[in-house]
Structure 1
Amino acid sequence: MKKIAIYFISTVLSVQSIAQSVKSYSTAQAHSHNDYERARPFDDAYEQQFGSIEADIFLVNDTLFVAHNLKDIKPQRTFTTLYLLPILQKAEQNGGHIYPQDNVPLQLLVDLKTEGEPTLAALMRVLEPHRKLFAPTGSVKVVVSGDVPDASQFERYPDFIYFDGRPENVYTPAQMAHIGLISQAFQKYSKWNGEGPLLEKDRKKIQKMINDVHDLGKKVRIWATPDNINAWKTMMALGVDYINTDKVRELGDYLRTAPR
């Protein structure tokens, strides 16, 4: 009986220790994956005060369109219309800050779907007149993903453009200064479907990657993760910095109401 009591106490303490080590999450750590596919692009995630929003862009005839595939492009769905103008409007309403709270930033993850160099050049042209709104001085951090330039070219770009890195790549300190986020596909580590517990061997692989990235002082996003409460809780326990979701309202509700 005494051994059982000791085991029970040690187990409770262990569980409490793990719970205390998990940081508190809010919608500031939520990422709206392929946000433009929602009925209300930008607005849904903004109203939930998400910390990160993703838009895929295509350069066609000098205009940046937002879509998942080239065939999905529609004339009215431009990057400027769906994202830049709403961001500028919110910043004007909030005294130059993206959110009413001046210490709450927004990460805008822009995925280059057409040839990287000209698409990035077009993106910089539309952002340049408003560069004070963008990090490092402003509250919106633009992180470029997709067909990004080679890391040796990062220093050619202005300081309001950051890049999405990969955990398997090695960057110099100068290149690392231009990395705004480090991302990887969930399938690189696991085939877990979000039901039941994550396999221990998979958990260890993911945890090592996250720890290594955090040691570099960078934040982690894992894309294509299972998208349910069990998966969200698992990602939070692992310390992922941005919880990837297509269920903006559901994740927002969960993060506001779940016990810390």
Structure 2
Amino acid sequence: MKTATILMMLLPLQQLVAQQIKPYTTAQAHSHNDYERRRPLEDAYEQQFGSVEADIFLVRDTLFVAHTAGAIRPERTFRKLYLQPLLDKIEKNGGNVYPQQDIPLQLLIDLKTSGEETLAALVRELAPHEKILAPRGLIRIVVSGNTPDPAQFDKYPLFIYFDGRPEMTYTPEQLARIGLISQAFQKYSNWNGEGTLPERDKKRLSKTISDIHQLDKKARIWATPDNINAWKTMMTLGVDYLNTDKVREMGDYLRTAPR
């Protein structure tokens, strides 16, 4: 068979593969441990990220944002760093999170203190603003960390979604409360982001992501290598939220990367 004929046969396959790789924007970017940035929320917001992450601790009746208990500071509350700025932006934008209409934002909240008490305090903080929260509004609250047993999901308001795990099996009712399914990159690979992801690791990751998509859920892999080569690899695998600590760099890349 002539080379030209073989190339003509391969062309439709190449086009199909290209069509299956979805275009990425900053809507698929996740600001990992966002509160550790010099400007919590604001840096990711300026890049129009689709997801930001905040760890919270309950101390007495107040929710503080910090990575460890020792890092808690009186002025760094969840309300001050995240809730009130988002309320202000929504008021300024006429009901929208971003100046453009109907662009959602995922707020991933990692419960660091006792799940039941901390989640109850979070519900109290958010309940007066239910209209801006999914499923009614554009901000989706996804709770991670010390989450309740899935059998307890239905005890919480519908504006509370939960971060699932790919190895767990959920009932249809529980799955409806799952807003995201996440797992650590180290469960699949020790790759450092240089060169090519080993084929064996790629297959394991690909199967997990495919399984998540079969449940009609979005996939997040945390603690991935944080460079352009790794971002491109995660995009090829179909990861829905690209995990990064380099908010501005990822924003610049996603805006200028070839489509």
TM-score, scaled relative to structure 2: 0.96
Q: Secondary structure at the match of 1:164?
A: strand
Figure out how many residues of one structure are paired with residues of the other and give that number: 259
Letter in 2 for 1:125: R
Which residue of 1 is the match for residue 144 of structure 2? 145
Which residue of 2 is the match for residue 155 of structure 1? 154
Q: Secondary structure at the match of 1:221?
A: strand
Compute the displacement of 1:3 (Å).
Answer: 5.0
Compute the displacement of 1:187 (Å).
Answer: 0.5
CA distance in 2, matches of 1:44, 1:83: 12
Superposed, 1:119-134 pairs within 5 Å as 119-134=118-133
Q: Secondary structure at the match of 2:147?
A: coil
Letter in 2 for 1:231: A
> Superposition RMSD on alpha carbons, in Å?
1.3
CA distance in 2, matches of 1:14, 1:178: 37
Which residue of 2 is the match for residue 217 of structure 1? 216
Compute the displacement of 1:17 (Å).
Answer: 3.6
| Structure 1 stretches of 4+ moved >6 Å | none
Compute the displacement of 1:18 (Å).
Answer: 2.6
Compute the displacement of 1:125 (Å).
Answer: 0.7
Letter in 2 for 1:197: T
Superposed, 1:234-245 pairs within 5 Å as 234-245=233-244
Residue 88 (structure 1) aligned with residue 84 (structure 2): no
Compute the displacement of 1:80 (Å).
Answer: 0.4
Compute the displacement of 1:61 (Å).
Answer: 1.5
Compute the displacement of 1:131 (Å).
Answer: 0.7
CA distance in 2, matches of 1:175, 1:16: 38
Structure 1 unaligned runs (5+)? none
Residue 118 (structure 1) aligned with residue 123 (structure 2): no
Q: Secondary structure at the match of 2:82?
A: helix
Compute the displacement of 1:16 (Å).
Answer: 4.2
CA distance in 2, matches of 1:208, 1:135: 29
TM-score, scaled relative to structure 1: 0.96
CA distance in 2, matches of 1:104, 1:40: 21
Residue 58 (structure 1) aligned with residue 61 (structure 2): no
CA distance in 2, matches of 1:250, 1:14: 33
Structure 2 unaligned runs (5+)? none
Letter in 2 for 1:199: P
- Listed one character per residue, the Cα deviations across residues 86-111 of structure 1 (whole Å, up to 9, x for unaligned) are 00000101111211222210000000
CA distance in 1, matches of 2:126, 2:239: 29
User: 208-217 or 2-11: which moved more?
Assistant: 2-11
Which residue of 1 is the match for residue 44 of structure 2? 45
CA distance in 2, matches of 1:218, 1:43: 27
CA distance in 2, matches of 1:175, 1:95: 33
Q: Secondary structure at the match of 1:124?
A: helix
CA distance in 1, matches of 2:195, 2:14: 18
CA distance in 1, matches of 2:2, 2:118: 66
Compute the displacement of 1:10 (Å).
Answer: 5.6
- Listed one character per residue, the Cα deviations across residues 54-91 of structure 1 (whole Å, up to 9, x for unaligned) are 00000011111000011011110000000000000001
Which residue of 1 is the match for residue 245 of structure 2? 246
Q: Secondary structure at the match of 1:82?
A: helix
User: Could you tell me the percent identity over the aligned residues?
Assistant: 68
Q: Secondary structure at the match of 1:128?
A: helix
Q: Secondary structure at the match of 1:64?
A: strand
